[in-house]
Amino acid sequence: MRIDINLDGAKRKMSQQSVNQGQYALANQGLADMNPFVPFKDGIARGTGHVDSNGESVTWNTPYIARLFYMPMRNYTTPGTGPRWDNKASAIHMKDWINAFIKGANW
């Protein structure tokens, strides 16, 4: 008796390209979900958010963004915004991020 198992479909789904596509989709969804928690005052900080070309990270580029991200301050001009917007967004949207990865990777 002989049993042949064809794993071509599984290998395609688990390929590095599929993982990269899922990662990029996840990063884009994360950016969209985190941006509302970024302090807004004049909109510059939110406007600089982008996903790196390889999808490995989400970045905001302003000289003061690290201070806004790590240091609690008083009197944020936009309600619901503040430091560590990644933690706030992940607590609300983690299931959406997992689904974005799965859909992006075609799993």
pLDDT tens digits, one per residue of 39-77: 988 889 999 999 999 899 999 999 999 999 998 888 788
How far is it, in rounded angstroms, from Cα 45 to Cα 29?
Answer: 18
List, in order, residues 6 or more apart from 25 with CB less than 8 Å away: 55, 100, 101, 103, 104, 105
pTM of this prediction? 0.85
- pLDDT at residue number 97: 98
Residues sharing a CB contact under 8 Å with residue 68, sequence separation 6 or more, in sequence order: 38, 39, 45, 83
Q: Which tokens belong to 107? A: 């799993």
Token pair recorded at residue 9: 């479909």
